[in-house]
Structures are given as structure tokens and as C-alpha cells.
């Protein structure tokens, strides 16, 4: 059987790397990543297996939040080491029993090649995949990697928040505080990059919105 998965670099990709080019079979047909997502952000997330309770709760949450992801130019793509037939039946079960239609594609990585290359295989648990999350930007660059154990369901709200925060950071060249836009110290404001010279550092000490020269914040509308 011809190998469909082509990775340019050896080893697991890291934050800041280009997402490896890979051709996959999904519930929506064949796709080539990141090529087919050109100009869009996407969240690739793996789950241990179809027809499992924790994974089902996650997929329902991803599905309910899918319009919010699409609103910020972001697509969702699921993955597990199951055949496409299993994915299709599971999606049907979710619609029939939980009244939620899964509209995003799910990769059928039944050979385990993509999961292995991306470090999604759970150590000590056979071929099951961990709950991995890869957030990839509109240039095909991996921006965030998250891993959860099989017994812990993910927070879809946090994944959505992460994408939104990174997009705001890119657009405004700022850093984002903990739990933005609901940070306990500066609320929905953003962090100005630290001064890189003494003159700027001294000026920052007199600047509004600065706790110190290395910790300054502002509203997004401010320059």
C-alpha cells in the first residue's frame, strides 16, 4: 500500500514549525493539510476512540462552538485511529441521540501514521491517541500544542479563547495576559512588549498603564 503521509522533517513538530504536509482520509473525503486550509486557522484535535463517553462530550462541545470558530476564520478537524466507517456511524449516533450534527471533518487515521508522527499516541496504551490539540495559523505555522490524558476531557472554551487571543496578539503586536479577556489584574487590556533600551524603559516609568518599565498594559484601541 502506498504511503500517503509525507512529512518534511524528522521528529515531532514543535511550536513555530510549519505543519507537516499530509494527505488524509476524512468523513468529508480526502484532504491535504495544511494546503486545504490555506488562508485559514485550524484546530486539529485527536481523541482516543469513537463511541466513548468523554470523547462524545468533547465532540458535542466542539460542534456547538463550531460557528464561533468559523466566525474567526478557524476550522476544526478531528482525528482518531478508527476507520472512516466508525466515524460515520458515531457521527450518526450523536445526531440521533444527542441532536447535534457534527459538521466538521474527522480524520480516519486507521494506520496510525499521522498520530505517531505528531506524537499523539498514548504511551503504554497501545495505539490509542491522547487528547492532543494542534492550533495552526493561516500561514500553516503551529502556534499551540496541548496534551490531555485519556481520562480528562478538554475545555473547548479555552481552545477557542486561545485562538482568539493569538489572533489579537498577531494583529496588534501585543502579548495576552492570563485568561484574557478576563484577567484579574488588567481585565480585557493587553500587554505592551517590554522596553528594549534604557531610554524607553525610563519613559515607561512615567507612562499611564505601567506597573513598571517591564509591565505595561493598554486598551486595544490605544496606540
Mean per-residue pLDDT, 73-91: 96
Position 135 scores a pLDDT of 98
Residue 223 has pLDDT above 80, yes or no: no
Helix (H) or strand (E) holding 167: helix 156-172
Mean per-residue pLDDT, 110-131: 79
Q: Give the rounded percent of residues in the chain with a pLDDT score beyond 70.
A: 91
Assign 11 a pLDDT band (cuts: 50, 70, 90): low
Position 210 scores a pLDDT of 94
Q: Which of 88, 78, 84 is nearest to 25 (CA)?
A: 84
Helix (H) or strand (E) holding 142: strand 142-148
> What residues contact residue 124 under an 8 Å CB cut-off, 6+ apart?
none
Mean per-residue pLDDT, 188-206: 92
Q: Give me 213's grid cell.
A: 518599565
* C-alpha–C-alpha distance, residues 38 and 120, integer Å: 23
Position 205 scores a pLDDT of 87
3-state secondary structure 15-77: CCCECCCEEEEECCEEEEECHHHCCCEEEEEECCCCCCHHHHHHHHHHHHHHHHHHHCCEEEE
Query: What is the per-residue pLDDT across 16-48, written as a single tens digit (0 to 9) for each?
Result: 999 999 999 999 999 999 999 999 999 999 999
The domains found in the chain, sorted by start residue, are: 22-154 (3.40.30.10), 173-223 (3.30.1020.10)
Mean per-residue pLDDT, 162-177: 97
* C-alpha–C-alpha distance, residues 186 and 204, integer Å: 17
Assign 4 a pLDDT band (cuts: 50, 70, 90): very low
From 40-44, 95-99, 135-139, 149-153, the region with the lowest mean pLDDT: 149-153
Q: Average pLDDT of the chain?
A: 91
Q: Give me 60's grid cell.
A: 458535542
Q: Give me 37's grid cell.
A: 486550509
Position 120 scores a pLDDT of 85
Q: Give me 183's grid cell.
A: 484577567
| Catalytic positions, written as ranges | 55
Position 117 scores a pLDDT of 84
Residue 190 has pLDDT above 80, yes or no: yes
Amino acid at each position: 500500500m502506498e504511503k500517503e503521509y509525507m512529512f518534511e522533517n524528522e521528529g515531532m513538530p514543535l511550536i513555530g514549525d510549519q505543519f507537516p504536509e499530509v494527505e488524509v482520509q476524512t468523513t468529508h473525503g480526502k484532504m491535504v493539510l495544511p494546503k486545504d486550509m490555506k488562508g485559514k486557522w485550524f484546530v486539529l484535535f485527536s481523541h482516543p476512540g469513537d463511541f466513548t463517553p468523554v470523547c462524545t462530550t468533547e465532540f458535542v462541545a466542539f460542534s456547538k462552538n463550531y460557528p464561533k470558530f468559523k466566525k474567526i476564520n478557524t476550522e476544526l478537524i478531528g482525528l482518531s485511529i478508527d476507520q472512516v466507517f466508525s466515524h460515520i456511524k458515531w457521527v450518526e449516533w450523536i445526531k440521533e441521540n444527542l441532536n447535534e450534527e457534527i459538521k466538521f471533518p474527522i480524520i480516519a487515521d486507521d494506520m496510525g501514521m499521522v498520530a505517531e508522527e505528531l506524537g499523539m499516541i498514548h504511551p503504554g496504551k497501545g495505539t490509542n491517541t491522547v487528547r492532543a490539540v494542534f492550533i495552526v495559523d493561516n500561514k500553516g505555522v503551529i502556534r499551540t500544542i496541548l496534551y490531555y490524558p485519556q481520562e480528562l476531557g478538554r475545555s473547548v472554551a479555552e481552545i477557542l479563547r486561545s485562538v482568539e487571543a493569538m489572533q489579537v496578539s498577531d494583529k496588534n503586536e501585543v502579548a495576552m495576559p492570563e485568561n484574557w479577556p478576563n484577567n484579574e489584574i488588567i481585565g480585557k487590556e493587553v500587554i505592551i512588549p517590554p522596553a528594549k533600551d534604557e531610554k524607553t524603559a525610563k519613559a515607561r516609568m512615567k507612562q499611564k498603564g505601567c506597573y513598571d518599565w517591564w509591565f505595561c498594559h493598554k486598551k486595544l484601541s490605544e496606540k
